[in-house]
Amino acid sequence: MNKYDVIIIGCGASGLSAARAALANNRSVLLLDMGDKSARKVWVSGGGRCNFTNTAATYDKYFGKNPEFVRSVLALVKPSDILDWVKKHNLEYVEKAPGQFFCATTSSDIVSALNEDAQGADILLNTTVTNIEKQNNEFEVQTNDRNFNCKSIIIATGGVSYPALGVSDFGYIIAKKFGHKIIPIEPGLVGLKTQIFSSYLSGISMDVEIKTDKKTISDSLLFTHYGIGGPAAYRASLFDLNKDFHINFLPNLNVYDFLTKAKKTDGKKSLPTLLSIYLPARFAKLVCSDTNTNIADYKDSEISIVAKMVNDFIISGGTLKRLGLENAEVVKGGVSTEFISSKTMESKLCPGLFFAGEVMDITGDLGGFNLHFAFASGLTAGSYV
């Protein structure tokens, strides 16, 4: 068969979700993917446990030139809908953190459910799409093997993170061909390079608060050989790195108050000894240039300087750099949402052309938000083709 109602380019979470919705509307569906298996990123997501949704999936958890774009699709497909879908497939899941849902076993459960729902569609793997043309309200999809025709196309090719899994920028190429702008691609949810912190701290993990540009992150930070990693750094990588970052290494303690009181009650103790009550010993030693002087011999102004290093450590804008795409969980940027309908995912420039998932300039926070958007945008596009 060479003619279909809809052809979906990309057999990941958004593409398979789109197929499910299109099949439910009795559309004939063809899925094309360059890889040798479907949902390759889902397999590795959440450390192999697949964080498939988050009850906090609201528009303010998403980034892009127009994060408001996600409002309609999030209203259409809620976290409760994804949980109902998981229950329908009798999949076991766990709530590892409040509102954050993972597979109880492995990501393969979600992959199996996605593939099961796509039964009835034709799926061609190891197939590279080379070009798409449109004439007389019909698309011709050209591949390395043969050509296909359809009334509607869904571009669900994802981003270009995880290059080792086999990714392509074809979605951007086609979007641009039909008049859409491409927001420059950057790594997202990735570690940050900096030489501000000594390698002496490498391996230390701390719960911190990061503030930048009127936004606040509270999560775990890991010191690494390249700079900082862990959930707090990954989430910070979604923000503008040209802005100052303020890190509070003890968000639940006013260090100045603690140390000035300690002058009166524990005056013979050193600063590192006192700070080590709340901080890792290696970090406490690095904060204090003098490790032998008793706290009673410090002026309050000197204590204020140390306290600020702990409660408000400033990393100047422009000094943090993201690791490369090979380390990124997602990408920032992609197909601009300016000329895509937020209600249907259809192009406003080319009727019949739809987009779903990470290929668009929408990036979610860490915690299941990106996979939720993949499901939601795929189901929406598939419902309207």
**Residues 160-209: tens digit of each pLDDT:** 766 666 667 899 999 999 999 999 999 999 999 999 998 899 999 999 99
**Residues 232-244: tens digit of each pLDDT:** 999 999 999 999 9
Q: Where in the sequence is the domain holding 314, given as residue range(s)?
A: 191-323
Tell me the three state secondary structure of residue 102: strand
80 and 209 belong to one structural domain: no
Nearest to 159 by CA among 183, 126, 140, 135: 183
22 and 139 belong to one structural domain: yes
Domain final residue pick, 278, 295, 323 = 323
Rounded distance between C-alpha atoms, residue 173 and residue 63, angstroms: 22
**Residues 258-283: tens digit of each pLDDT:** 999 999 999 999 999 999 999 999 99
The percent of residues in the chain predicted with pLDDT above 70, rounded, is 97
- Ramachandran bin of 47, using left for φ above 0, alpha for ψ from -120 to 50, beta for the remaining angles: left
75 and 137 belong to one structural domain: yes
163 and 233 belong to one structural domain: no
Query: At 43, which CATH number?
Result: 3.50.50.60
Local confidence band at 315 (pLDDT 50, 70, 90 cut-offs) = very high
164 and 226 belong to one structural domain: no
361 and 278 belong to one structural domain: no
- Report the domain count for the chain: 2
Domain final residue pick, 274, 297, 323 = 323
Please give the model's pTM, rounded to 2 decimal places: 0.94
Exposed / middle / buried, residue 50 (Cβ in 10 Å: 0-12, 13-18, 19+): buried
Domain final residue pick, 283, 303, 323 = 323
294 and 343 belong to one structural domain: no
Local confidence band at 292 (pLDDT 50, 70, 90 cut-offs) = confident
Local confidence band at 288 (pLDDT 50, 70, 90 cut-offs) = confident
Local confidence band at 293 (pLDDT 50, 70, 90 cut-offs) = confident
112 and 250 belong to one structural domain: no
